[in-house]
Amino acid sequence: MKKILIFSLAYYPRFVSGAEAAVREITDRIDVSDIEFHMVTLRFDAKDLREERVGNIWVHRVGVGPSYLSKILFIPLAVWKGWRLCRKEYMDAAWVLMTYMLIPMAILRLLRVRIPYVLTLQDGDPYDKVFGRLFIRPFIPLIDYGFRHAAIIQTISHYLSEWPYKRGYTGAIEVIYNGSDTNDLKDHFSLADVEECKKELGKKEGEIYLVNTARLEHQKAYDVVIRALAQLPKHISLLIVGSGTEEAMLRDLVHSLGLDARVKFTGYIDREKVTLYRKASDIFIGPSRSEGLGNAFLSAMASRIPVIATREGGLAEFMFDGASTPGPSKTGWVVQKDSVEDIVRAVEEILAQPELVHEVTERARAMVEQKFNWEHIAKDMREKVFTKVLGEN
């Protein structure tokens, strides 16, 4: 049995986004007798166990709980824990989740822990922001060192596959997509569950809900959607599922535009229940300013909900409007970044053309089933990525 050490800033049960969900979906599909996974991650809450098994991963948490000091100390603590695990468990390889986790991996390598490692890029922020943050600039030499010495790099979109070469990497890159939420793809919730969710939300007959289930961050462009809502009929509301750093600003914007009765903030919702909120809604809307791929969009397509989105970053891999974008037939309604007018037009078109909506959502669902299926993704990760990093090919 092989052993792989994972570095991830966050993991279940807290602050789970697409990247962390992808790790669990993949590792849960790899037999425990084949690869044993260990993860070093941050202990965000003092109530969290320092060590526990989550799915097919032995999770080792470092830190002192919900404090800024804990985040500052994460890198040295992660290096120390990683070094001890490599000595105790005899790791065969490592898996670095996202760009910044290259820092502890690079330090370990400089300390002569020379296990091969794979880097997975799932960054949702644009390139300039990822590498231009003030607090990251001092670590750029370590990050670039980490890029250059990776055994293989896996990205979740062709958009992200351009990044490693800019950082000096010269090796192989595998593009393996993320998948949709399995609850959406398997129609996990019943119609009765969905109706109960609508009742809890206070959704009335004839109301139309726009929904987004992404983090409340600048890149997700919730502000543009709110401004568009002000130009749409009053029976249309916006459901914002989740939390993030821009929540206070967005609430102020909603209030200033007199939309308090038409915008619902749910706050944090357990990932297992997010599907219910998508299915209780009518249109998924995410005019993102940047995306690594866009798991939430794929999950909406799996739920047969019409999707309005830009083609920024990895969204261009699956968002096509048939006429004005290259590639397959229409899978959604494409809008330009920061365009209130495009959003208003797209919502009006969807509401006016139910037959087209049915055709497009069925096509998008079929695309997700074929190209963004976790069973296929896990198989590709084992055969195309882990095989190489473990030296089995």
Query: Tokens for 359?
Result: 């055709």
13-50 CB burial, b ≥16 within 10 A, e <16: eeeebbbbbbbbbbbebbeeeebbbbbbbbbbeeebee
Amino acid making up residue 215: R
Q: What is the residue whose two structure tokens read 């030499």?
A: 141
Q: What is the pLDDT of residue 326?
A: 64
Q: What is the pLDDT of residue 327?
A: 65
Cα separation of 344 and 238, whole Å? Answer: 13
Query: Tokens for 8?
Result: 């991830």
Closest CA to 8 of 21, 293, 213: 21
Cα separation of 377 and 365, whole Å? Answer: 17
Cα separation values, 141 from 164, 172, 182, 194, Å: 14, 21, 39, 50
Judge whether 242 and 214 are in contact, CB under 8 Å: yes
281-291 CB burial, b ≥16 within 10 A, e <16: bbbbbbbbbbb
Judge whether 166 and 127 are in contact, CB under 8 Å: yes
393 residues of the chain, pLDDT tens digit each: 999 999 999 998 877 778 898 999 999 999 999 999 999 999 988 888 999 999 999 999 998 776 667 777 899 999 999 999 999 999 999 999 999 999 999 999 999 999 999 999 999 899 999 999 998 999 999 999 999 999 999 999 999 999 999 999 999 999 999 998 887 777 778 899 999 999 999 999 999 999 999 999 999 999 999 999 999 999 999 999 999 999 999 999 999 999 999 999 999 888 888 999 999 999 999 999 999 999 999 999 999 999 999 999 999 999 998 876 666 799 999 999 999 999 999 999 999 999 999 999 999 999 999 999 999 999 999 999 999 999 986
List the CATH code of the domain at 2-179+373-389: 3.40.50.2000
List the CATH code of the domain at 182-371: 3.40.50.2000
Common-topology check for domains 2-179+373-389 and 182-371:
yes
Q: Which residues contact 156 (CB under 8 A, 6 or more apart)?
A: 22, 120, 121, 122, 175, 176, 177, 178, 292, 293, 314
Integer-rounded Cα radius of gyration of the chain: 21
Domain ranges of the chain: 2-179+373-389, 182-371
